[in-house]
Amino acid sequence: MDYLLSLAVDPAAWIALLALIAMEVVLGIDNLIFIAILTNRLPEHQREIGRRIGIGLALIMRLLLLGSIAFIVKLTNPLFSVLGQEFSSRDLILITGGLFLVWKATKEIHHRVDLDPGPDLFDRKNVSLGFAAAMGQIVMLDVVFSVDSIITAVGMTEHVPIMIIAVVVAVLTMLLAANPLSNFIIANPTIVMLALGFLLMIGTALIAEGFGVKVPKGYIYAAMAFSALVEGLNMIERRSRRSRPD
C-alpha cells in the first residue's frame, strides 16, 4: 500500500504514466486496424461481438504478460545466431507476425485490384470467413502486438502498476474506437486500400525489427498520419464535387 501511495505522489511516476499511455495507445492502433478490417468480413450481426472479443483478448494477453515480467525479459535473450545475427524469441515472434501481416495485406490488395478477384474481404455480400477463423487470426496478431507492447512498457518504466494502468487505458481506448473505425472503413471504400497499405508497412517494419533493423516508430506513424491527411483531403474534394450543382 505504501508503495502505491508513494507512486501516487511522485511527479516522475505521473509523467511516466502519461508517456506510457500515449505510447500504448499509438501501438494499439496497429492492433485495432487489423481487428477492424478482419471483423468487417464477418456477418453483420457478428462484427461487434467479434471486435469486442478480439480487443478483450488483447487486454487479457497484455495483463498475463505483465504478470510474468521475468518471462518477458527472457524473450529478448538470444536463442541462436545466423551469420553473426542473433535471434531471440521476441525476434521470431515479430518475424512470424510480420510475415503474416504482409501475406494478409498483399492477398487482400490483390483481391481488390484483380479484375476477377472472387470473394472480397471487404464485400459485405460475400462473407466467407467463419467466426472461429477470424478469432484465430486475431489471436495470432494479438500475441505479436501484445509482446511488442509489453516489452516497450518494460523498457519505459520499472513500475508494474504504471504499466497495468497504461495498458488498460490503451485497450479501453481501442474498445471505444473499434466500432467507429470499422464503420468508417465500410462507409469509405478508398480507406480500405489505405488501411491495407498501413498493415503492409507495419508488417514490413516488424520483419525488419525481428532481423535487428530498428525502424523508428515515429517515422512509421508520421507516414501513416501524412497518408491519412492526404486521403482526408481527397475525401473532402470528392464530397465537394458531389455537392456542386451540375
Spatial distance between the Cα atoms of 192 and 111, rounded to a whole number of angstroms? 12
Q: For strands 78-82 and 85-88, give the pairing.
A: antiparallel
Residues 6+ apart with CB under 8 A from 27: 145, 148, 149, 152, 170, 217
195-244 pLDDT, tens digit per residue, is: 888 888 888 888 888 898 888 877 887 888 888 888 888 888 877 887 77
Place of cell 519505459: 156
86-110 mean pLDDT: 84
Would you list the domain boundaries of the chain?
Answer: 2-214
What per-residue confidence (pLDDT) applies to 124?
44
pTM of the model: 0.69
